[in-house]
Amino acid sequence: MTSAKASEAAPGPTALPIIDVSLLDAPAPDSRARLARQLDRACQDSGFFYVTGHGIPTELIDAVFRQSRALFALPEHSKRQLDKARSAANRGYEPLRGQTLEPGAPPDLKEGFYIGEELDEGDPRVRAGRFNQGPNQWPQALPDFAPVMMRYFDAMNRLSARIMTALALALGLPTDHFRAFCEQPLSTLRLLHYPPQPAHASPGEKGCGAHTDFGGITVLLLDEHPGLQIWDHRHRRWLQADPVPGTFVVNLGDMIARWTNDRYRSTLHRVVNLSGAERYSVPFFYSGNPDHEVRCLPNCLTAGEQPRYPATTVERHLIEMYRKTYA
């Protein structure tokens, strides 16, 4: 949705806000109002912020990274047995250079693994051929992988629903405004592994090409190695979004921009792993209920303004965006 030209200028520092979502439950009457104000500003500025007070146990986060490292360390032929090309629901392994997120740039220098809600072939959503719904592909060699990932997946769904509550507050809507959107959500957990940027990388080669996320919100877990850069539309430059221990990076996807008539931003971002180390990250994409209608929120239209996007549904929006990027 954003079309800034990827400048190759050295990235500058960031000052992304750190937002404490536990303020949602704080007893002081002005806590929620403070949270709403901070979040509203962050969403209008860049749609990127760090989240603290999230309640996800460190032990679970450590286990996710351990399992992710073990998965990518498997021999190539074992990973290829789980190739996502074998899955009708886009689940499983995506090889190095398997995706090109930035049109015209070389393929991304990352390998990935996709996980979704575990649905068997008998589930009505799977039988109806609904988008991205189906069983996962699990690595048999790693017995703890599936239980750890499903525990994390559930925790991310709950955290994302809380962030949606906070977003409702930020937009001046009732706290339960997005409740139906959060029922039976379509979510994707993605494990990523970025090798170090090679000394003689081809021009424009990156870990992850410049893109916006197309769903609702993304809750991104980072390891200790920097690499994420976000586009500063005001000063037309790339900013580093370095890892902050104990936080997640949250960013808004195109669907929120669509919902708010671009009052809230879905910002261009990319990854260049200049850390010299293997970098691991774990984005979780929360897109909400596939049947939910996405139309411009009435309080996001000022007098005389028209909606910039026609009404659609979550599923139709996602299918359209997938078609564009994998075309």
Ligand X SMILES: O=C(O)CCC(=O)C(=O)O
32 backbone dihedrals φ, ψ, rounded to 5°: -65, -40
Q: Which is nearer to ligand X, 165 or 197 (CB)?
A: 197
- Residues between 270 and 299 with contacts to Fe ion, criterion CB under 5 A: none
Residue pair 193/98 in contact by the 8 Å Cβ criterion: no
Does 271 contact ligand X by CB under 6 A? Answer: yes
| Angle CA 314–318–322, to nearest 5 | 175
Taking the complex as a whole, the smallest distance from the CB of residue 200 to Fe ion amounts, in Å, to 26
- Residues between 279 and 308 with contacts to ligand X, criterion CB under 6 A: 281, 283
- Taking CA atoms, 176 is separated from 40, 172, 180, 212, 240, in Å, by 17, 11, 8, 27, 34
- Taking CA atoms, 296 is separated from 159, 175, 216, 258, in Å, by 24, 18, 14, 7
Nearest-CB residue for Fe ion: 213
Does 208 contact ligand X by CB under 6 A? Answer: yes
Residue pair 228/251 in contact by the 8 Å Cβ criterion: no
Taking the complex as a whole, the smallest distance from the CB of residue 92 to ligand X amounts, in Å, to 16
> Cα–Cα distance between 8 and 22 in angstroms, integer?
38
- Identity of the residue numbered 52: T
- Residues between 155 and 174 with contacts to ligand X, criterion CB under 6 A: none
Does 252 contact ligand X by CB under 6 A? Answer: no
Taking the complex as a whole, the smallest distance from the CB of residue 285 to Fe ion amounts, in Å, to 8
Q: Which is nearer to Fe ion, 63 or 210 (CB)?
A: 210
Taking the complex as a whole, the smallest distance from the CB of residue 115 to ligand X amounts, in Å, to 13
Residue closest to 110 by CA, chosen among 16, 54, 191: 191
Determine the size of the site formed for ligand X (CB under 6 A). Answer: 11
Residue closest to 8 by CA, chosen among 174, 202, 264, 237: 237
**Residue 21 binds which entry of ligand X, Fe ion, none, CB below 5-8 Å type-dependent:** none
- Identity of the residue numbered 72: F
Task: Identify the residue among 23, 156, 228, 256 touching ligand X (CB under 6 A).
Answer: 228
Residue closest to 63 by CA, chosen among 149, 154, 157: 149
Does 269 contact ligand X by CB under 6 A? Answer: yes
Residue pair 283/250 in contact by the 8 Å Cβ criterion: no
Interface map 205-244 toward Fe ion (x if CB under 5 A): --------x-------------------------------
Taking the complex as a whole, the smallest distance from the CB of residue 70 to ligand X amounts, in Å, to 19
Count CB neighbours of 136 within 10 A: 21
Task: Identify the residue among 213, 232, 254, 315 touching ligand X (CB under 6 A).
Answer: 213
Residue pair 116/131 in contact by the 8 Å Cβ criterion: no
Taking the complex as a whole, the smallest distance from the CB of residue 263 to Fe ion amounts, in Å, to 21
Does 185 contact ligand X by CB under 6 A? Answer: no
Q: Which is nearer to ligand X, 193 or 297 (CB)?
A: 193
Residue closest to 134 by CA, chosen among 120, 144, 147: 120
Task: Select from 56-64, 175-183, 220-228, 290-298 the region that touches ligand X (CB under 6 A).
Answer: 220-228
Does 14 contact ligand X by CB under 6 A? Answer: no
> Cα–Cα distance between 235 and 239 in angstroms, integer?
10
Q: Which residues bind ligand X (CB under 6 A)?
A: 190, 192, 208, 213, 220, 222, 228, 269, 271, 281, 283
Q: Where do contacts with Fe ion occur on this chain (CB under 5 A)? A: 213
